[in-house]
Structure formats: C-alpha cells, structure tokens
Amino acid sequence: MKDLIDPIDLSVEDVDTILKLAGKIMADRPAYAHVCDGKKLATLFYEPSTRTRLSFEAAMLELGGSILGFHSADSSSATKGESIADTARIVEKYADIIAMRHPKEGAPLVAAMHVDIPVINAGDGGHNHPTQTLTDLLTIHETMHRLDNVTVGLCGDLKFGRTVHSLIKAMSRYENVRFVLISPDELRIPDYIKEEVLLANNIPFEEVEQMEDVMPSLDILYMTRVQRERFFNEADYIRLKDSYILDHTKLLNAKEDLKIMHPLPRVNEIAKEVDNDPRAVYFKQAEYGKFVRMALIMWLLGLDK
C-alpha cells in the first residue's frame, strides 16, 4: 500500500504488522534511531493541530529523519490559489513522505492521486483520521494485550465524532467485540454506521443514555466531548452535560482493569481527579500515537524489513 487515507484501507494483517512494529520500537528505541536517516517528512497542515503535527514530527525525528512543511493554510501557497495537486507535486520533489491535514474532506486523497510518494491523511475535516484510529488500536493492544473479546463503551458525541466512527469500523473486524453506545438522544451514532457496520456484520451493541448502569460491563471506556453547540436547545444541554462527565463516583462500579481512553483534547468531560486513576490511559494513548506513527512511516517507506 502506498498511502494511508482511510483507516479501513488497512487490512487486519496490515494493522497487525504496524502494531507489532510499534511494539518493537517501544521495546528498543535506540535500534530505530537511524532508520530514517536522510529521509524527509513533509507535514502539510492546512489547519492548526498541535498534537497530531507534533506527534508526526516527533515520530520522524526519533527515527533519525528530518521534517519540513507548513502549519496553516495562511503560510502555504494555498493563499495564492495553488491547488492541492500542484502543492503535492512540488513537495514530492523535496520530501520522501507527506502527512497532510486539511479542513476539507478528501484533500489528502487528491494529493495521493497526484504523487508517487506515500501520503498519510492526518485528518480531513470531520471525515477520516486514520492515525488516531491506529493510536487507539495500539493503546488497546498494549494495555489489554488483545483486540478481540472486549466490550467497548463509547461515550459522548457519537454523532459527529469521527474517531468514534473509525474505531467502530476498525474494531468490528475482530472476534467477539461488543459495543455499548452511550450518548444523549441528539448525539446518537448515525444510522449508516449502525446499518452498514454493526447490523451488517452482526456485531452486538446497545444504545443507552446513562453510563452508570453499563459501567460494570465495560473493558474499555472511550470518552469524547459533548459540545454545547451540538444541542438544539440550551435546556437539553444543561440537563445532560453532567451525565457525560466522568468522575470517581461514576467509576465506582467499573472493572478493576477498565481502560479509560480519550482522543484528546479533553475539556471537562473527564474530571481531573480521574487522571491519577491507574485505569486512565489517555495520556499514555498520546504517547502511543507517536510510536504508531513511527511504525507507519517505516512501513509506508518500506523500511520495516
């Protein structure tokens, strides 16, 4: 595979290869410190993103490679009206691999269609964010030591949360995975995910509004933010907002080995008191994001052999 545009482009075997390579990198970081010597990663970020960009850049630097690029559309030739295709063609002359974030859906695919070097989608609007999905899978793999036989609770904004949609698609491919979808009625998972992914593949799932009742059954609790602007009226937001804030009290019935995840940034949906709970893995998750990107860069450049 040349590019990574959609997380489902990767087969289960591809994901397995990347996660295993990430595991090897974590176990012996010095051994990978010069794998990308002389290679350059172009980070073409048409909109700001602190975590994803830094994670990509840290990944390439840690592999011994170099980085170049821009961090907003204002500092790119897009302001002069240059097309994505032309920008990508030019960057191809200077770099060995591209990571692109763009506010419009499909922009990284356009770049990938016009260059021979690998293109990684680093987030295209509300559409795909495959390296976040890989990060989530690595976090589950490393903390649970498996990707099958798990009950995954997804909580918060399940309607607009692209990380949630991608994770459901990716996890649905493993044996005996069950989903508990916890959200206010306004922010329930879209019908097409239910019909085309869950029902089509006979994946067990339940939809609930409160997390307390289902907490004891969860192996993973994936939190997302419930944003005020997603509600139709203020009264509903005020009525429901506290239901989706995770704190010690809500965790009373949770499993001892529950893993609490969050794609970050967190605002207030996880109380700070939870940060010190050993079940909270969201900061570790951010670190896994760097390692999985290291593995992905190596794999796409053919340097994993």
Partner 1 sequence: MLKVDSIERGIVLDHIKAGKAMQIYEYLNLDELDCSIAIIKNVKSNKMGLKDIIKVNDNIDINLDVLGYIDPNITVNIVENNVIVGKKRLELPQKICNVVQCKNPRCITSIEPGLDHIFKLANKEKRLYRCIYCEDEAKTR
Q: Which residues are catalytic?
A: 51-52, 80, 101, 129
Q: Residue 103 Cβ, how far from partner 1 at the closest point, in Å?
A: 8
Which is nearer to partner 1, 193 or 300 (by Cβ)? 193
Residues that bind partner 1 (CB under 8 A): 83-85, 102, 104-107, 109-110, 124-127
Q: Residue 109 Cβ, how far from partner 1 at the closest point, in Å?
A: 6
Is residue 174 packed enough to be buried (19+ CB in 10 Å), middle (13-18) or exposed (0-12)? Answer: middle
CA–CA distance, 205 with 148 (Å, rounded to integer): 15
Six-digit token string for 162: 């692209």
Which is nearer to partner 1, 68 or 85 (by Cβ)? 85
Answer whether 179's CB lies under 8 Å from 209's CB. no
Which is nearer to partner 1, 110 or 246 (by Cβ)? 110
Angle at 269 between CA 263 and CA 275, to 5 degrees: 75
Q: How far is CA 268 from the centre of its chain?
A: 20
DSSP 251-301: GTTS-TT-EEE--S--SSSB-GGGGGSTTB-HHHHHHHHHHHHHHHHHHHT
Distance between start and end Cα atoms, the chain: 15
Which is nearer to partner 1, 195 or 275 (by Cβ)? 195
194: DSSP letter: I
Answer whether 63's CB lies under 8 Å from 33's CB. yes
CA–CA distance, 157 with 192 (Å, rounded to integer): 16
Which is nearer to partner 1, 108 or 184 (by Cβ)? 108
Look-up of token digits 């009206």: 81
What is the identity of the amino acid at 163? T
Six-digit token string for 158: 């399940």
Which is nearer to partner 1, 8 or 58 (by Cβ)? 8
The alpha carbon dihedral of 142, 171, 12, 288 has a sign of: negative
Six-digit token string for 3: 């590019």
Q: Residue 203 Cβ, how far from partner 1 at the closest point, in Å?
A: 18
